[in-house]
Structure 1
Amino acid sequence: MIETIRQQVLPHYGLEGSAAKIAPLGNGHINDTYLVSWDEGNMVLQKLNTDVFKTPWTLVENAGLISQHLGEKEGAEYGLKVVSPKVTAEGELAVDLGEAGFWRAIRYLKHSSSIEVVGNEEQAEQAARAFGHFARALCDFDAAQIGDVIPKFHFLPGRIAALEQAVRDNKAGRLDGCRDWVDFALSQQGLLDELAELEPKLPLRVCHNDTKINNMLFDKRDDSAMAIIDLDTCMKGHLMYDFGDMVRTFTSPEAEDSTNLDRVQVRPAIFAAICRGYLAELGDVMQESERSSLWLGARIMCLMIGIRFLTDHLNGDVYFHVHREGHNLDRAANQFTLYRSLLTQADELKACVGC
């Protein structure tokens, strides 16, 4: 892969491959990401997973439009830094090398850092405020400009149907080893009735759709919020899913693939901090229906991501990167455990969002 980057990708960015340092960056589930450094600068280079993102030009064009919109507000209405695309020497947003991959480059932010597990309430509130600030800055962005890179991405009925199909197919012969979790997931379909009643009342907004804690960068110099990154799944949607994904990825003291299930739980103080930060930015923007949807969004995202991991496990690990045998099943068990923790603390947590 490194030689492909040196010989075939970097020349499109006007770089001599032999003069650049290339190192893997981050631990994303989908794309392959590298930091490219040379004497005069650096950039982040990504090979997009076109099995997942089947219309990669739509993805980079969406990200370009959103970055441009935020860039026009940077330093004034928008207090975060913008991770903008770097165009090629030919003036394009990406390089399509066919079998050698679809590549794009974005701005690298010096002094930036990310975390995998939220350590305290301050981090949670700060990150939630940053994601809320991002959403607020896009309230005047014309959502009709952007396409759906993954249709029905946050669509619980479709995810449940995909799990049911994976159970019927049992392609990898793994059903017997996870039947209890399958039965649990399919027993939670009462959420579909809540969703069918509430969703038609919600406005469509441009949403990030992947508000994991490691998609918010901190400034290493003072631990302040620096930037929202990974605009790959920015699409039209509902704020409850962005809120729910923060709950899913901020509140547990364990990483999402941890097998220490006795430690996987929703920390109420972190949940409350998310609510404070997010509503501080969006409380006067949200419609009442959106605020009342947040508790549903928290439950849906924990359950739905667990279902997605479980489906991929049954299908033979064809979507998410895995690093050990049973990795996706571990992730699924983790998320279902977190979902159960939400349910057992429902009264206390619902009060934080005013439900």
Structure 2
Amino acid sequence: MKAYDCQELCENFKLDGRYISALPYGEGHINDTYLINTTSSRYILQRVNQTVFAHPEEVMHNIILVTDFLHEKIIANCGDPYRETLTLVPTKDGKRYYVTKYGDLFRMYLFISHALCYQTVENPEIFYKSAKAFGHFQNMLKDFPAEQLKETIPAFHNTVSRYQNFKKAVAVDCIGRKKEVEDEIQFVLDREKDASMIVNAIANHEIPLRVTHNDTKLNNVMIDEITGEGLCVIDLDTVMPGSMLFDFGDSIRFGASTAAEDEQDLSTVWMDIGLFEQYTKGYLEELGNAITAKEAELLPFSAKLMTLECGTRFLTDYLEGDHYFKVHRPRHNLDRARTQFKLVADMESKLGQMQEIVQKYFCSSNGF
């Protein structure tokens, strides 16, 4: 999308000042994102990727509901809603997004200044602050009616469905790779009962249905440049109904690993228990009594489950011919799967420690 296209698009939104420029912005790989400069302010313009999100209006439905709710909560708490959550800029006809004649959906956010995002866990303190931000996000939304949200990516964290897809890929063995990954296949089969635990807990009302972010990576938290504190949770495209356990577990999978997601030297792969403790501490400090005892009990398991789910997806894609995840070398998806499974095994060996850590901070956060 060229700069003059951006200028034409900007004319549809209620912006302060005169358009100056548009520059590609950020390191995201899903949406087209531009920093818009005007004579008075800065904005973020995005085109929602309709290959990933087949119904972008449902994505916007969720974002509008959640950000409006957060704005009201932040104001009630005497905070700054224009820095502490995303703010959609309306179009000139009063809508929250603009659809071109070609069907592309664009949205505009206020730019949050004097804030930054970290791409990697440079030190435990940053991971702790990201945990506080996601815990605060969850706490603020504890009384939001999650059933009002659309499931923009069907069965995204339905681990039972992921397991069934895996078994089908094994049975079909469409390109003959099954023989070389028998150990990895058995690793997943041995943990079949894990797949249904959280899904069933939601269905049986053992744990509540909640608003979940579903992409709780470190770089989706903006850190205030002045205070150094977590300021705002961003990238709300995958906000859906689900369990907070999905968010917590995926954060640990991604952030507490000692190695890259596709590390080939498995001797360097394990879960850093210190980082697990930092994240648990920050998350539970912000949640307080907003988390149930059953959810707290399942937090260590959720880290294992989200890691197992991710590894299973990589292995499924490898068996099916590498069609879903981009690969950059032969057996790339297999390397990814093996890394995740090594993490799972390490988490299993540390489950007792993880449970003690959760219990410690759950009790202190609830005044026990």
* Root-mean-square deviation (Å): 3.1
Question: Structure 2 matches for 1:40-59, cutoff 5 A?
Answer: 40-59=40-59
CA distance in 1, matches of 2:153, 2:98: 20
Note the C-alpha offset of 1:100. Answer: 6.7
CA distance in 1, matches of 2:318, 2:281: 36
TM-score by length of 1: 0.86
Please tell me whether Structure 1 or Structure 2 has the larger radius of gyration of its CA atoms.
Answer: 2
Question: Structure 2 matches for 1:12-161, cutoff 5 A?
Answer: 12-13=12-13, 19-28=20-29, 30-74=30-74, 77=77, 81-97=84-100, 101-161=104-164
CA distance in 1, matches of 2:35, 2:197: 44
- Which amino acid counterpart does residue 13 of structure 1 have in structure 2? F
CA distance in 1, matches of 2:324, 2:71: 32
Against the structure 1 CA distance between its residues 308 and 24, is the aligned structure 2 distance closer, same or farther, given a 3 Å change threshold? Answer: farther
CA distance in 2, matches of 1:97, 1:329: 41
- Which amino acid counterpart does residue 352 of structure 1 have in structure 2? I
Aligned counterpart, 2:210: 205
Structure 1, unaligned runs of 5 or more: none
Against the structure 1 CA distance between its residues 12 and 186, is the aligned structure 2 distance closer, same or farther, given a 3 Å change threshold? Answer: farther
- Which amino acid counterpart does residue 211 of structure 1 have in structure 2? T
Report the 3-state secondary structure (helix = DSSP H, G, I; strand = E; otherwise coil) of the residue aligned with 2:280: helix
Question: Structure 2 matches for 1:182-221, cutoff 5 A?
Answer: 182-192=185-195, 194-195=197-198, 198-199=201-202, 200=204, 201-221=206-226
Note the C-alpha offset of 1:251. Answer: 0.6
Would the aligned equivalents of 1:33 and 1:44 in 2 still touch at CA under 8 Å? Answer: yes
Aligned counterpart, 1:249: 254
Against the structure 1 CA distance between its residues 255 and 36, is the aligned structure 2 distance closer, same or farther, given a 3 Å change threshold? Answer: farther
Note the C-alpha offset of 1:270. Answer: 0.9
Note the C-alpha offset of 1:172. Answer: 6.8
**Cα distance per residue 1:219-274 (max 9 Å; x no partner):** 22332111111111212211211211121122123343444533222111111111
Report the 3-state secondary structure (helix = DSSP H, G, I; strand = E; otherwise coil) of the residue aligned with 1:89: coil
Would the aligned equivalents of 1:4 and 1:100 in 2 still touch at CA under 8 Å? Answer: no
**Cα distance per residue 1:83-120 (max 9 Å; x no partner):** 12222333332233476733322232112221232233
Corresponding residue pairs, total: 354
Against the structure 1 CA distance between its residues 2 and 337, is the aligned structure 2 distance closer, same or farther, given a 3 Å change threshold? Answer: farther
Report the 3-state secondary structure (helix = DSSP H, G, I; strand = E; otherwise coil) of the residue aligned with 1:354: helix
Aligned counterpart, 2:296: 291
Note the C-alpha offset of 1:319. Answer: 4.3
Would the aligned equivalents of 2:311 and 2:336 in 1 still touch at CA under 8 Å? Answer: yes
Note the C-alpha offset of 1:289. Answer: 1.4
Against the structure 1 CA distance between its residues 120 and 12, is the aligned structure 2 distance closer, same or farther, given a 3 Å change threshold? Answer: same
TM-score by length of 2: 0.83
Note the C-alpha offset of 1:149. Answer: 1.2
Residue of 281, 301, 304 corresponding to 2:286: 281
**Cα distance per residue 1:105-157 (max 9 Å; x no partner):** 22321122212322333222221111111111111222233222123221111
Note the C-alpha offset of 1:214. Answer: 1.4
- Which amino acid counterpart does residue 244 of structure 2 have in structure 1? L
Note the C-alpha offset of 1:69. Answer: 1.0
Against the structure 1 CA distance between its residues 316 and 97, is the aligned structure 2 distance closer, same or farther, given a 3 Å change threshold? Answer: farther
- Which amino acid counterpart does residue 253 of structure 1 have in structure 2? T
- Which amino acid counterpart does residue 50 of structure 2 have in structure 1? T
- Which amino acid counterpart does residue 246 of structure 1 have in structure 2? S
CA distance in 2, matches of 1:331, 1:78: 45
**Cα distance per residue 1:2-61 (max 9 Å; x no partner):** 368437644433689994232142234x33333333443322233323233222111111
Structure 2, unaligned runs of 5 or more: 361-368
Answer with 235-244 or 176-185: which moved more: 176-185
CA distance in 1, matches of 2:341, 2:37: 40
